[in-house]
Chain A
Amino acid sequence: MPKLVDRVKPLKNRKRKKLSAEGRWGFLMVSPYLIQFVVFLSFPLAASLYFSFSKYDMLNAPKWIGVENYTTLIQDPVFHKALWNTFYFTILFVPAQTILALVLAVALNQSLKGLKFFRIAHFIPVICSWTVVLYVADAILNPRFGLANTILVKLGNNPQPWLSDEALIIPVLVAVAVWKGVGYMMIIFLAGLQNVPEDLYEAAEIEGAGVWKKFRHVTVPLISGTTFLVLVLTTITTFQSFEQIYVMTSHLGDVTSAGGPNNASMVLMLYLFQQGFSFLKMGYASAIAWVLFIILFGITMIQLKLQKKWVYYEK
C-alpha cells in the first residue's frame, strides 16, 4: 500500500531529522493516543491542577489561594471518612470478586451440559446499568418487601435495615457490586483459561498431577498475565467508583443526598462530585482528585513491582 504511506508521510515528516522506518511507523501508529494526550488530557490536566490551587466556583474566574485547599483537606473529617470508606470498599470488593470469578471460570472451563446457560446467567447482571440494578437490588434489599428480610424473619431473625445501617451499608454495596461484576471478570478469566493449551494439562496428568497441582502449576502461571491486568484495573476502577453509590444511596437522583447514612457510604469520588458540582467548590474538588491520583499512582507502582515476582511471560 505505498500510496497510502505517501499520503500520510508528509504530515509526520516535518522534522528532517532522520527517523528509522520503524520509528516513523511507531509514531504514526501511536498518533491517536498523541492527539488525545495533547488535546483531551494535557490541557484538562493542567487546568485542573491550577484549579486545585485556586478558589473556583465555576461561575466566576478562579482565584489563586496556594495550598489552602490541600491543608483544608487534611483536616476535613468527611474526607478522612471518605478515604477510609474507599479503602474499605476496595479491600472487600477486589479480592472477593477476583477469587469468586476465578473459581467460577475454572468450574466453567470444561465441557458441561448447560454451559451456555450458566455463562449467560452470570453475565446478565453485568449488562445491567446501575439504574437497573437499583430496582433489581430493591427486590432483595427492601426492608419491608425484600426477599432478604423475608428469609431472615422466616428463620426467626430480626429484619435488617441494609442500606440505612451505617455498619452494613458498605458490605451490602460490595455484595451488590460483586453480584454485578463477577460475571464479567469470569469471562476475562475464561478467555485466559482457554488460551492454556490442553496438552499442558495432559502432560501434567501423565506426570500424575491432581486437580490442585494442575491449577497451581499450569493454570495459574499461564493466566497470571490476565490476573495481573484484572487486579490492577479493578483496583483502579473500584477506587474511582461513583455510579453505584450515587444511584443506590441517593434520593430521586439528588447527588447531595447520596453517601449516607451519616457519610457511612461516602467515597472519594462521590465526595469530589458533591463538593465540585453540587456545592460549586471546583478548586477543592480538584484537590481531592489530585490526592486520589497520587494514592492510585502509589498503589499501581506497588502492583507493578509485585508483577515481576509472579507474572509469567512466555519468552
Chain B
Amino acid sequence: MFNRSKKRKAISYTVILFSSLLMLTPLVSAALNSLKSYKEYTAIPVQWIPNPFQWQNYIEVWKMTSMDTYAWNSFIVTVLSVIGALLSCSMVAYAFARLEFPFKNSLFVMVLGTLMIPPVVMIIPQFMIFNQLGLVDTLVPLWILEWLAQPFGVFLMRQAFLAIPKEYDEAAKLDGCNPFQTFVKVYLPMCKPQLATLTIFTFMTKWNEIMAPVIYLSSEDKFTLPIGILSMSGAWFGQEQYLVAAALMSLLPILIVFLFAEKYFVKGASSSGLK
C-alpha cells in the first residue's frame, strides 16, 4: 500500500509538472516579448531572451496610459459585484432549496430558463432602462444586476443547499430559528466551498468582462482594464512590444489580489460544513 501511494504521487507529479509547464510557457514568452526592443521583437530567427531587458517599456506604457484609473474602475466593479452576488444568490437559492412557497417550482424553472437566454438579447432593452435611470456612463450598470441574484449563482448555491441533509433544518427549527436565521447560521457556514466558487466566478467574469463596459461606458476615465487595453491596440504601430507590456501590466493588480485571496479560497474549500 505504501508503494502504491508512492507510485500515485510520482504519476501525479509528472502530470502536474508537465501541465504547469504548458500553462506558464506562453506567459513567460509574452513577458520576455514585453521586455524586448522592437528590433528584437520582430527578429528572425527569433531572439528569445531580450538583451538588454528593456524595463523602460513598462515605464513608457505607464506614462502614456491611464492604467491606474482603469485598474481602480475594474476593482470597484468587481468588488461590488462579488458582494452582491454572494448575498443575493445564496439567499434566493436557500428559499428555492429549502422553503415552501406558492409558485416555487415555476419560479425556479424560470431561473433555469433565464440561465439560457443569451445576454445579448437583452442588451438594447436593458440599455434603454439604464438610460432612463440616468445611469449610462457610470459603473452602476456593470454591477447592480449582481445584487439581484443572477441565475448562475442561484443554481450553484441551490445545488449546494440541496446536498445538505434536511435534519439540520429541523434542529434549527426546534431551537426557535426562523428560516432566515437558519439560513444564515446553519446553511451558509456549510457552503463555504460553493461561496468561494461563486466568488471566484463572479470575480473572473466581472474583471474580464468586455461587452457590457463597451456598451455602457464612454468616458475614458470610467474604462475598466480589458477595454482600456483594447482601446490601446492600434495606438503603437511599429512598437507592438508596448502592447504586450500594457496587457501584462493590466494583469498585475488581479494577480496580486489573487495571490492573497488564494489562501482564503483554499481555507474555505477545506473547512467544509459536511463532516
Contacts and interface: CB of A to CB of B under 8 A. Distances in A.
Q: Do chains A and B touch in the complex (CB under 8 A)?
A: yes
Interface of A: 1, 5, 19-30, 32-33, 35-37, 39-41, 43-45, 47-48, 51, 58, 100, 103-104, 106-108, 110, 112, 116-132, 134-140, 144-145, 147, 150, 179, 183-184, 187-188, 190-192, 194-195, 197, 205, 210-211, 225-226, 229, 233, 236, 240, 242-243, 246-247, 252-253, 269, 272-273, 276, 282, 285-286, 289-290, 292-293, 296-297, 300, 313-315
Contact of A127 (B4, B99, B128, B251): B251
Interface string B21-33: 0111111011011
Contacts of B254: 127
A29 B99 contact: yes
A112 B12 contact: yes
A29 B122 contact: no
B272 interface: yes
A144 B115 CA distance: 42
Contact of A290 (B121, B152, B250, B255): B121
A191 B95 contact: no
Interface residues of B, number: 112
Contacts of B225: 129
B180 A107 contact: no
A126 B205 CA distance: 10
A108 B115 CA distance: 31
Residue from B1, B154, B180, B231 with most neighbouring chain A CB atoms (10 Å) = B180
Contact of A131 (B102, B104, B116, B229): B229
A152 B7 CA distance: 34
B23 A29 contact: no
A20 B26 CA distance: 59
Contacts of B200: 184, 187
A191 B196 contact: yes
Interface in B7-25: 8-9, 11-13, 15-16, 19-20, 22-25
Nearest to B117: A293
Contacts of B189: none
B76 interface: no
